[in-house]
Amino acid sequence: MIKKIKNKYLLFLAFLVVLLFGDAGFVHAALEVTYPSIPLLAPNPPTASSTLPQYIAYWFGLLIGVAGILALISFTVGAVQLIASFDSAEAASNAKDRMKGSVLGLVLTLASFIIMQTINPNLVSLTLVPPPAQTISNLPPQPGVYFYLDSNCVGQDSMGNNNALGPIPSQDDLGSVFDGNVRSVKIINDYTNGIYYGVILHEAMGLQNGGKCTPPIIPVGCLPPNGCCQTINTIAASAVDIFTVNTTPTTSGTGIAFYSEPYGWDAGQNAAFANIAANQIKSTPSPIANDGTTLSYASSYAKIQRPTPYQADCPDFWTCPGSIEIKGNYLVALYSSGGGTVGKACDGSDPSGCRGSVCCSGAETCSGGKCTNAGGSSYCQTFIPKAKSKGVENLKAQPVVAAGGGALTNIYIIPTKSQ
């Protein structure tokens, strides 16, 4: 008897599956059919605007009702068979089994509905609860460098990420949305992993090119979630150097050598050199300026033979920039006057900084009788070590000191971590 009941339930479940999913056009048809109300079991028939859980709840109640009708029909058939069995004991027994099975099936079906309704009505009335909205703008900020179209690191952007492009690595081109439109930059350092970011913004596309750029921006602190915001108003940035500063500079390498001739590390070049040792390089670099107040990059002639006139013409790297040997993970940024008036004599009493035919240009100001560019933009070019190269092989061919450049005014040496 139990086996027969199991078989009936399997057939009933198969009927449900075919009824619900056998027709590929079920969902489409569901939107066009007017469903009847079924008291107690499905009092709220679905409409064209109903959701999938409402359809499921309706069909669940409907199928309970169908199961009751089928059980009643089966019970009636069993009763008729019992009456017609006459003196056949076997037929009477089969009819009684059918009637008992019908009653048991109906009881189990109704009991399951009543139990679920009693425990939790939502079990028979499904509801889809969408997860809370999680947009890019409310995600926790990741450490990195972010660029904004408005000052103070606010505004709207094309990425929906609090007006920011980032975090990103160094870029030869910031893209059509941000090219020339960066108004502020936010730096968020990763204190946990000891990662501290810095940037140099370039006006020209392509980091291999020279052009106007900002001094290195290496703020201190800048921890999540707010980081540090720097307004950019001196250049229309189109490219950017992004680097991670090594807070233990002596582990970046063995230093930098500056030569008076191209390929100065080759003995045949007989080049004078100025060596900057690793312990002279700081993790928060200040500009090494050509003003006699810091490292002079005076060229050494101790190991080479050069005529006296050559030594007089090339007393230091500022005067004769030939090549740079980068012995480790360092970023070297060279700044020049870029055709401007940095370093030229001016008159501080004149509002325009003019002295004779010389006037300080652009963002330059007259300070101490000379045109300076403190905190503004100036012509620069950045260099990092490349595979199978010792550094900058021929500075005379580089834009920063060749066409478009001018006399070197500042040098930054930044110890970095390998990426």
- Kindly list the distances between the CA atom of residue 217 and the CA atoms of 4, 245, 339, 400, in Å, as whole numbers in the listed order: 82, 11, 24, 20
| Model confidence at 254: pLDDT above 90 | yes
Residue 280, helix vs strand vs coil = helix
Contact 184, 151 (CB under 8 A): yes
pLDDT in the model for residue 39: 64
% pLDDT > 90, the chain = 10
pLDDT at 307 over 80: yes
* pLDDT digits 0-9 by tens, 313-362: 888 888 888 999 999 999 999 888 654 555 566 776 776 667 665 666 55
| Residue 26 pLDDT class (50, 70, 90 cuts) | very low
pLDDT of residue 280: 87
pLDDT score of 22: 43
User: pLDDT tens digits for 45-91?
Assistant: 666 666 666 667 676 777 777 777 888 888 888 888 878 877 777 88
- pLDDT for res 323: 92
pLDDT-derived band at 162 (thresholds 50, 70, 90) equals: very low
Q: What pLDDT shows up at residue 24? A: 39
What's the average model confidence in pLDDT over 193-212? 87
- What was the pLDDT predicted at 330? 93
Residue type, 185: V
pTM attached to this predicted model: 0.58
Residues 100-138 have pLDDT tens digits of 888 888 788 777 777 766 665 555 555 555 555 444 445
177 pLDDT band, cuts 50/70/90, is: confident
Count H helices and E strands in the chain, helices first.
Answer: 5, 17
Cα–chain center distance at 154: 17
Instruction: Identify the three-state secondary structure at position 382.
Output: strand
Q: Where are the domains of the chain?
A: 2-123, 131-244, 249-415
Which parts of 89-230 fold into alpha helices (H)? 89-119
Identity at 91, one-letter amino acid code: A
- pLDDT higher at 394 or 372: 394
Residues above pLDDT 70, as percent of the chain = 63
What's the CATH code, domain 131-244? Answer: 2.60.20.10
**Cβ within 8 Å of residue 311, ≥6 positions away:** 272, 299, 301
Provide the pLDDT for residue 21.
44
Query: Could you report the per-residue pLDDT of 285-297, keeping only the tens digit for each?
Result: 766 655 444 445 6
Helix (H) or strand (E) holding 147: strand 144-148
pLDDT of residue 179: 87
Mean pLDDT throughout 31-43?
Answer: 62
Position 91 scores a pLDDT of 80
The whole-number pLDDT of residue 329 equals: 92
Copy the structure tokens of residue 73. Answer: 């029909």
> How buried is 393 (Cβ within 10 angstroms: 0-12 exposed, 13-18 middle, 19+ buried)?
middle
Nearest by Cα to 184 from 223, 157, 212: 157
Are 229 and 152 within 8 A, CB to CB?
yes
State both tokens at 91: 């037929």
Residue 155: the pLDDT is 66
Structural element, H or E, at residue 61? helix 52-84
- Among the ranges 90-94, 162-166, 276-280, which has the highest mean pLDDT value? 276-280
Give residue 243's Cα distance to chain centre: 16
Q: Which class for 109: exposed (0-12), middle (13-18), buried (19 or more C-beta within 10 A)?
A: buried
Render pLDDT for 368-392 as a digit per residue (tens, 0 to 9). Answer: 676 665 444 578 889 988 777 888 9
Distance, in Å, from the CA atom of 65 to the CA atom of 153, rounded to the nearest integer, reads 63
d(C-alpha 165, C-alpha 78), whole Å: 76
CB 112 within 8 A of CB 68: no
**Alpha carbons 234 and 238: distance in angstroms, whole number:** 13
Q: CB-side exposure of 247: number of CA atoms within 13 Å?
A: 12
Which of 22-26, 236-240, 323-327 bottoms out in mean pLDDT, i.e. has the lowest? 22-26
Peptide bond into 167 cis (omega under 30): yes
Q: Average pLDDT over the chain, rounded to whole?
A: 74
